[in-house]
Chains A and B, each alone.
Chain A
Amino acid sequence: MDSISDDRQQRITVLAALIILCIVFSVGSRYFLTVDNILLTLYQTAVTGITSYGILFVIITQAVDLSLGSTIAVGGCICAALLTKGVPAFVAVGTALICGAAIGIVNGFCVAKMKLPPFVATLGMQMVLRGLVLVATNAKPIYLTEGNFKQFAQYKLFDLIQLPVIYLILLGLFSWFILRKMVIGRHLFAVGSNEGAARLSGIKVDRVRMFAYGYCGVMAVFAGCVLTARVNSGQPTIAVGYEANAIAACVIGGASMSGGKGTIGGTILGAIIMGVLLNGLNLLSISSNWQTVATGAVVIGAVYLDRMRHLKES
């Protein structure tokens, strides 16, 4: 029952599931295993992947962020609104990211300082943010008629790899570095593993929680900016329910809803599984309603596996 072998076993299970999924789909559609489609799937996974890095930090601290989808929409719309005002792209994205951090810190404040249960606090935040973005945009998309911001998502490196795939990889490495190599990363695990002990070890638990939520907000907004570039517009109604996909990606990848556990490697695998599932079902022309069913089933299955792991350990 060594921790490393346990993690590795988990990773192997997920990888096996991914391979099985790929085999099924490549039998079902001859277009599945093409370079174009693989890159396209990664491209479409980027948003789920990037947001799941963020929510992983929160999950490790034994909390959850249900406001993720709304944060994506808010970030995307702020970015689009600034761009239509003629603000340079990097300033627009930067400002949006700061707003994302602020949203996260408010979430963290509600959970850490006001002692609200994360589920309730972020559910409330989800509605507040969605409402605000609808009000602010008059429920209408903000179109980017001028400028070339769409290159932020649509530009192809070497005329082959779309930028979001690169973001997915770079942000993955960045998040891994924070989690595994930095003091704050260890503190995240400590808080999620045993909050009382963390406090008695001199860790400022409130700050750690706010950091986790803040990071989650930044990742969500970054994903929101990618989406904005992708659809060349700020969509106030976009990304409803994306938190479920992000949480599912983390849990499939071995993160525990009971906190203190989770890896970036596993999470990216989880996100790819979700992406491949949707891509494959689309290729097989299976109704989007069934896709929703499949996603839900995967989420339940993954959380069930998490519970089983947890029971086995205790």
Chain B
Amino acid sequence: MGEVILEMRGITKEFPGVKALNQVHFAVRRGEVHALIGENGAGKSTLMKILTGIYKPTAGELIYKGKPFFPNDPKHAQTEGISIIHQELNLLNDLDVAENIYISREPRKYKNVLIDDKRMHESAGKLLKRLGLDIDPYEKVRNLSVAQKQMIEIAKALSVDSEVLILDEPTSALSEKEVQVLFGIIRKLREENVAIVYISHRLEEFDQIVDWVTVLRDGSYVDSCSWKEQTIDNLVKQMVGREITEQFPKRHAKIGEVVFEAKDITQKRLLKKVSIQVRAGEVVGLAGLVGAGRTELARAIFGADHIESGEFLLGEKSVKIRCPDDAIRSGIVYLPEDRKKDGVFLDQSVAMNITIANLRAYAKNGVIREGAYQEAIQEKIQDLRIKTPSVSQLAQFLSGGNQQKVLIARWLCRNANVIIFDEPTRGIDVGAKYEVYSLINRVAENGAAVIMISSDMAEILGMSDRIVVMCEGKVTGELNGAEATQEAVLHMASDTNKDMRKVV
């Protein structure tokens, strides 16, 4: 590890009424992977926004390469060598890979009049090779996987000779295999003496790449030390400020009869005769890589997407599900993977978000009965401990964990007997994760059948009574939750004919 390239000293940032950061210290060395951790709202994003010039600090200073540094905006920070790759990728789907990498900085020819298309694609090709990626620079970004897109973002950052690279939750949308490829690239960059700031909730992955770790809590600096000197338990304690005795709460559910069964579900190229069944009180983990067809299966069961053939059985009875409304009426509900896109109504109130799927229960002749309505909302907010200043707060101002709880509340209103959770804890901080797990346990204990899709291996192993593994639109295996191992799941989830490189 080299000398300190960037140092943030005594950074304080105040928003009207809120102190988002209070005297935070943060220093990164060349050739180091420096993890920045903390619960949602701990101030990680704010700190990075100050570093890239989106916010001006209220107090404190930045020292970059030994000199005071005042970034005006992300572009300025980037030209100085500080790049950030956001969780939400910023690529233009209709342009090709090289065009995305060099956007607004395209190499020119003929006195800077025309874009030198050939040179641009050649240098993009070189860059991709340097990262060990087998991607055609002429490929349209639309056709790439999420993981590949992320690699393109990294390539884009490197094309401007970044010396500090910030990765915000880079692995949240990646499968285990893809994560490995990403880590390979990060290691390569470390060798090239790039300083990497790594923001992530997935502490279990840190062993593989992280050198140093800084913990923030409630806008304050807590600790900064070598990864090797730390234990996960201790870090979690530092992050949440309290002790979490176990990661996955115990469940005391009685597993009963088969409640729901999907038979031979087929959907154009995505699902090939998939069958799955789930019992009352049971949590079935649905594992697989990104693109294995897990979300597609869930959406098909929920009636969100059309299927070519197949049958759904509730108990013994066959049911027709043509749209989500049919599914909901049959007691099947689905919590989508992408909360912001498919779940939460961001610009609507918490009250509306909780009740929207069950309004008819509080209405008479289409008119809402205010009393019953408000009562239901209050009950759910208290029951699920949703942190919100009022029921009329807009959902966009809630944390990810609380948004997820709002969605769970929405379906608890319906008393569903089959609940499908798709990536229930993605982007949620440690404390809230535990609450979500408890809620999953609770619905199972109340006799509901749960299907849980997750790319988080620990979560799959820790929560499932039974694990169903999918790969390329087919069910490739089933394991008992108590006996399953990471290796066994991974083996079933991968197409053994392909090596890791080709997945990306």
Please list the residues of chain A having a beta carbon within 8 angstroms of any beta carbon in chain B. 1-4, 181-184, 186-187, 189-190, 193-194, 196-204, 260-261, 313
Nearest first, the 4 A-B pairs at minimum CB distance are: A202-B328, A193-B345, A201-B357, A202-B325
- On chain B, the number of residues with a Cβ less than 8 Å from chain A's Cβ atoms is 37
B345 and A194 contacting across the interface, CB-CB below 8 Å:
yes
Of the candidates B336, B366, B410, the one whose C-beta lies within 8 Å of that of A183 is B366
The reply to whether A260 and B347 form a contact with Cβ atoms under 8 Å apart is yes
Q: B368–A183 contact, CB under 8 A?
A: yes
A-B contact pairs, 11 of them (CB 8 A): A3-B392, A3-B394, A182-B363, A183-B360, A186-B359, A190-B345, A193-B347, A196-B341, A197-B345, A198-B356, A199-B324
Chain A residues contacting B336 (CB-CB under 8 Å) are 197, 200
Q: Are B347 and A313 interface neighbours, CB within 8 A?
A: yes
B367-395 interface with A by 8 A CB criterion: 367-368, 389-390, 392-394
Contact B393 A203, beta carbon cutoff 8 Å: no
Interface string of B422-462 (1 = CB under 8 A from A): 00000000000000000000000000000000000000000
* A residues near B410, Cβ cutoff 8 Å: 201
Whether the Cβ atoms of A190 and B328 lie closer than 8 Å is no
- Of residues 74 through 111 on chain B, the ones whose CB sits less than 8 Å from some CB of chain A are none
A4 to B393, CA, bound (A): 8
Query: When the two chains form their complex, are residues A3 and B349 in contact, meaning their CB atoms are under 8 A apart?
Result: yes
Given A186-B356, A198-B345, 13 more A-B residue pairs with CB atoms under 8 Å apart are A2-B392, A3-B349, A182-B366, A186-B352, A189-B345, A189-B352, A190-B352, A194-B341, A194-B342, A196-B341, A200-B343, A203-B357, A313-B347
Instruction: Give chain A residues whose Cβ lies under 8 Å from the Cβ of B355.
Output: 186
Q: List the A side residues contacting B323 at CB < 8 Å.
A: 199, 204
Q: Does A203 lie within 8 Å of B394, measured CB to CB? A: no
Bound Cα distance from A198 to B352, whole angstroms: 12
A2 to B393 alpha-carbon distance, docked (Å): 6
Chain A residues with Cβ below 8 Å from B329 are 202
Q: How far is the CA of A2 from the CA of B396 in the complex (A)?
A: 11
B residues bordering A, Cβ < 8 Å?
Answer: 302, 304, 323-325, 327-329, 334, 336, 341-349, 352, 355-357, 359-360, 363, 366-368, 389-390, 392-394, 396-397, 410
Q: Nearest-CB distance from A254 to chain B (Å)?
A: 12
Q: B365 → chain A, closest Cβ, in Å?
A: 9
Q: Which residue of A lies closest to B341 (CB)?
A: A196
The distance in angstroms between the C-alpha atoms of A201 and B336, with both chains bound, is 10
Known contacts A2-B389, A2-B390, A196-B341; decide if A201 and B324 are in contact (CB<8 Å). Answer: yes
Closest B residue to A258 by CB, please name it.
B347
Tell me, in angstroms, the Cα distance from A186 to B361 when the chains sit together: 14
Name the residue of chain A whose CB is nearest to the CB of B414.
Answer: A202
CA of A263 to CA of B396, assembled, Å = 20
* In the complex with contacts A3-B392, A4-B392, A182-B348 CB distance below 8 A: no
Question: Are A182 and B368 in contact, CB atoms less than 8 angstroms apart?
Answer: yes
Could you tell me the distance in whole angstroms from the C-beta of B407 to the nearest C-beta in chain A? 9
B16 nearest CB across to chain A (Å) = 10
Report the separation of the CA atoms of residues A199 and B299 in the bound assembly, to the nearest whole angstrom: 11
Q: Distance in Å from the Cβ of B210 to the closest Cβ of chain A?
A: 32
Whether B345 pairs with A202 at a CB distance below 8 angstroms is: no
A306, chain B: closest CB distance, angstroms: 13
Return chain B residues, CB-CB under 8 Å to A199. 304, 323-324
Say yes or no: A261 contacts B363, CB within 8 Å. Answer: no
**How many Å lie between the Cα of A3 and that of B350 in the bound state?**
10
The answer for the CA separation of A45 and B390 in the assembled complex, in Å, is 37
Tell me the complex Cα distance, A150–B355, Å: 46
A227 CB, nearest partner CB in chain B, Å = 31
CB distance from B459 to the nearest CB of A (A): 22
CB distance from A80 to the nearest CB of B (A): 34
Alpha-carbon distance A1/B392, docked complex (angstroms) = 11
**Complexed CA–CA distance, A186 and B323 (Å):** 20
| Closest A residue by C-beta to B344 | A197
| Whole-angstrom distance between the Cβ of B153 and the nearest chain A Cβ | 21
Q: Which residues of B contact A1 (CB under 8 A)?
A: 394, 397
Tell me whether A197 and B368 are in contact (CB under 8 A).
no
Complex: how many Å from CA A201 to CA B355? 10
Residue of A nearest to B338 (CB): A196
Residue of A nearest to B302 (CB): A200
Give which listed residue, A4, A189, A197, contacts B343 with CB less than 8 A: A197
CA–CA, A82 and B72, complex, Å: 68
The smallest beta-carbon distance between B447 and chain A, in angstroms, is 22
Given B334, B356, B397, which contacts A190 in the complex, CB threshold below 8 Å? Answer: B356
Which of B302, B342, B356 has its CB near the most chain A CB atoms (within 10 A)? Answer: B356
Nearest residue, chain B, Cβ from A183: B359
Known: A2-B393, A3-B394, A202-B357. Contact between A190 and B342, CB under 8 A? no
Which residue of A184, A189, A196, A200 has the most chain B CB atoms within 10 A of its CB atom?
Answer: A200
With A and B bound together, what is the CA distance between A33 and B476 in angstroms?
Answer: 79
What's the least CB distance linking B406 to chain A, in Å? Answer: 11
Contacts of A201 in B (CB 8 A): 324, 328, 356-357, 410
> In the bound complex, do residue B324 and residue A202 qualify as a contact, i.e. CB atoms below 8 Å apart?
yes
Q: CB < 8 Å: which of A2, A183, A261 contacts B347? A: A261
Measured CB to CB, the closest approach of chain B to A196, in angstroms, equals 5
